[in-house]
Amino acid sequence: MKVLLKRIIINKIMRDTIKTTHVGSLPRPAGLRELLSGSDTPDPVDLDAAVTDAVRAVVRRQAEVGIDIANDGEQGRMAYSVGVTDRLTGYGDRYADRELPADLAEYPDFAEELFGDIENIGGPVATGPIEYVGGEELRHELSRFDEAVGAEDATFSGQFHTAPSPGAVLRFTESEYHDSIESYLFDLADALATEYELIVESGRTLQIDAPELLAAFTITYRDAGLEEFREAIRTYVEAINRALSDVDADEIRLHACWGNYPGPHHHDVDLVDVISEFYEADVGGLIVEGANPRHQHAFEAFVEHPLPDGWTLVPGVIDVKTNVVEHPEVVANRLERFADAVDDLSRLMAAPDCGFETVLGADFVHPEIAWKKLESLVEGAEIASRRL
């Protein structure tokens, strides 16, 4: 509680403090992980109680380290991308196969070492019409976070909730019902629109996770050229905009990444080559990686292609694929580079590159080290705020 009060006082004194957030998933406790990953279907009451306890724990930890814009840590989800299919009709029991990204396909021994039996994580296959039926479940998920905030007496300056883009669901699933990929994509957009609207109506910022805007280049478009991929991004963004037609852009932030796995990433597309397509999205903020070794030059893209008026930039300044804890000065230096590009401190926020456990079991950073890295994020944001 003393730590929490200290953070609140600091934020009130420093009017131009760079706010801190994260990208959604936070470490799950071992007991919850076992329930979610077990071969037997867990008792719904036991699972709900375990998720409730886990959400309270991550709310408490976020408040203790000083995160400003918080969420529920995606504690009850198996994966950020396909969990939403449980709230959609049309999916059967068969699961789609997944191909390895081009960089891992080049090093299959390393890929097997990294992923073992889960190298082809896929989602369910659609066999019928796609419709949204999960309003009650989503409201329960949202209320659980509110209850945890009250129970922990936590204070945050804002809240967010994550949901996958239509293209993210498309990337990890398949359809035998639709006659084209595009018709499937836009059916997903129409269905997901309800989820997006419910999240915004709850008073939270909606974070749309759209890895397809970058990571699809090494999977779906691994044999394509840059211009073909840019055209695909336009279609993905069109689907996002269709789903957001009744949502205020100021309430939305878009997250794009190159795939949250510790691979070589040497076939990734450069942000500067596609960033202008992102700017067609009807959103008010953008989260991009900026800490991992392959993309620490990402800030240069915003010098060449300035952020749209009114948008907030949320650069990743903490790497979520290594157990090295960034020094706060390193965090501050990274933020300063992005501040120069944005040229307006009020439009800058600090975050890790991606989630800490976006898929159950894909926790490349030890849980306690993950929280230590978030402490460094907050300290680095305070240093950068003083300097700027």
The pLDDT tens digits of the residues spanning 241-286 come to 999 999 999 999 999 999 999 999 999 999 999 999 999 999 999 9
Tokens of 204: 């939270």
Note the pLDDT of residue 299: 94
- Roughly what angle, to the nearest 10 degrees, separates helices 44-65 and 2-13? 50
pLDDT for 116 beyond 90: no
Confidence at residue 15, expressed as pLDDT on a 0 to 100 scale: 45
Over 50: is that where the pLDDT of 12 sits?
Answer: no
pLDDT at position 297: 94
Domain range spanning residue 131?
Answer: 2-387
Query: Total structural domains in the chain?
Result: 1
Residue 34 has pLDDT above 50, yes or no: yes
Mean pLDDT of the chain: 92
- Structure confidence at residue 9 (pLDDT): 46
Instruction: Compute, in degrees rounded to 10, the torsion defined by CA atoms 57, 384, 3, 68.
Output: -40
* Cα separation, 188 vs 182, whole angstroms: 10
- 3-class DSSP assignment, residue 107: coil
Domain holding 176: CATH number?
A: 3.20.20.210
**What is the rounded average pLDDT of the residues 108-114?**
89
Distance in angstroms (rounded) separating the CA atoms of residues 206 and 166:
14
Q: Look at residue 121 in the predicted model and tell me its pLDDT.
A: 59
Of residues 42 and 313, which shows the higher confidence score? 313
